[in-house]
Chain A
């Protein structure tokens, strides 16, 4: 039997090759793919997030850990689809209009995928229309926005207003994050939730889809 603790370690250490190999072996042995995700990979990313908050890990370590998780997910996702498991939700994520910062947004996107969401990454400098189009055409039920600049924070409100105007605000939960954003700001602009970091964003997304 594969030692599944090694999967946890591979993700924490950002070893994509090992994560892939262990996952492959475990699946061949008949381990339930959801066990791999929920009992080993998600706890590993939680630990990575904790180390980041504690300044033991930095952005490079975060990115290689997320990559290791993805390399395992690449094997797992098709299996879940084949057996008819539905994604927890479908997220349209992007950095708002005028803003080109994407490191944080990319991390949030990776962790949401790890958490069982289908993620449609719209990239950076995303205009409100693009979010609306994705909600309409791809039936996204979460819109997640990132902003790193004080000058682009207002684009979150503009986007929420545009979702209302387009008549799709009720179909989606809107989540926001990024360094200058606060809980209070999220409330003011009528978002459904705010998370300070990427690990929290997954818990938040799960909470709002369950509500």
Chain B
């Protein structure tokens, strides 16, 4: 069974030869091919090369197109800043929707209009062409609160929940539509899985999550699934208070950060949810020893049970010792679910 078959079978609950392996690499993958991170973000050929090389040499079961949170916002006209060795970033002081009234006239950009989203779609197509028969190709979109924060400014959005709930709902409607269009083109280009990154969701409590974020996430997830793709939800940070809601989204994969214990997620989400994660990317994966990594991933496996995919809690840090990442990978290569 090849990587692609393994992941698909596992998601469908069919038997597999070993645990699937899907850690997030961005800056690490870029460093593997000695490229500038600026180019990884801006040139789909560099991204694809980094992903293919890294997935190949470490034996990942997938490749993925995530690079920075700013693709959609940049195409909407938000001011972004480019750095040589860091992800593209939004300029929050000059947020596109600093004036809320602008939302009424904001148009959803064409994902195929030659902008940063188009670049991401080309990355999907190139990955599909080069390794798509062998490996899972995962595209990427920002989730509603993450993208809402990118457009409005994260500090301001946090207070909008109290000051202007109607605006937040309109903003999230806009964002869900935007992300669905972006996702659709990625699925057309060959993505098997769409990752939904909704980092800022870990900043809000269960009430704000249930009232504003969950309904928008649900529409996004359901919309992507209607296109025939599977969904991997990833929320950076401490999600302990919203695990139950995350489980009820019906995502094929819930990818947890290290601050949310897998055992707790298993209790909240039931026995069938596929969980991915979640060893601490910094203290264990980057700063630990290969033995510590093996111990930590074994514990994750035990806590998650058989519906489990191996990965770190978040992005594999750029300067992670390769032998540590190899220890993570070896666990997946050597263990059955």
The residues of A with any CB-CB pair to B shorter than 8 Å are: 14, 55, 57-61, 63-64, 67, 98, 100, 102-103, 106, 123, 150-151, 180
Q: Is the CB of A59 within 8 A of B282?
A: no
| Residue numbers in A under 8 Å from B203 (CB-CB) | 58-60, 103
Contact B159 A98 (CB under 8 A): no
CB-CB under 8 A from B317, the residues of chain A are: 150-151
Point out the residues of chain A lying under 8 angstroms from B155, CB to CB.
63, 102-103, 106
Return the 9 tightest CB-CB contacts between A and B, nearest first.
A58-B205, A59-B203, A60-B158, A63-B158, A150-B282, A60-B161, A58-B204, A100-B89, A63-B159
CA distance A2 to B13 in the complex (A): 65
Q: Which of B86, B89, B204, B282 contacts A60 (CB 8 A)?
A: B204
* A67-B159 CB under 8 A given contacts A57-B205, A58-B204, A103-B154: yes
Residues of B within 8 A of A123 (CB): 93
Cα–Cα, bound, A64→B164 (Å): 13
List chain A residues, Cβ under 8 A from B204: 58-60
Interface members, chain B 116-162 (any A CB < 8 Å): 154-155, 158-159, 161-162
Check B92–A102 contact: CB distance below 8 A: yes
Q: How far is the CB of B211 from chain A (nearest CB, A)?
A: 11
Q: Is B336 an interface residue (CB 8 A)?
A: no
Which residues from B are CB-within-8-Å of A57? Answer: 205
Tell me if B282 and A55 are in contact (CB < 8 A). Answer: no
Q: How far is the CB of A8 from chain B (nearest CB, A)?
A: 19
| Nearest chain A CB to B141 CB, angstrom units | 21
* Residues in chain A near residue B92, CB distance under 8 A: 100, 102
Is B106 part of the contact surface with A, judged by Cβ < 8 Å? no
Partner of A58, one of B154, B208, B318: B208
Indicate if the CB atoms of A55 and B241 lie closer than 8 Å. yes
Q: Which residues of B contact A58 (CB under 8 A)?
A: 203-205, 208, 241
Is B230 among interface residues, defined by CB-CB distance under 8 A?
no
Residues of B within 8 A of A102 (CB): 92, 155
A70 CB, min distance to chain B CBs, angstroms: 12
B156 and chain A: residue at smallest CB distance:
A63
- Is B86 touching A98 in the complex (CB atoms < 8 A)? yes
Contact of B234 with A by CB under 8 A: no
Contacts of B86 in A (CB 8 A): 98
- Complex CA–CA separation, A60 to B204 (angstroms): 6
A64 adjacent to B282 (CB under 8 Å) = no
| A35, chain B: closest CB distance, angstroms | 28
With CB as the reference atom, state the residue of chain A lying closest to B83: A98
Which B residue's beta carbon lies closest to that of A13?
B162
Question: Please, how many angstroms separate the alpha-carbon atoms of A55 and B241 in the complex?
Answer: 8
- For A60, list chain B residues within 8 Å (CB): 158-159, 161-162, 203-205, 208
Whether B6 sits at the interface, judged by CB under 8 Å, is no
Chain A contacts of B184 at CB under 8 A? none
10 CB < 8 A contacts A-B: A14-B162, A55-B240, A59-B158, A60-B158, A60-B203, A60-B208, A102-B155, A106-B155, A150-B317, A151-B317
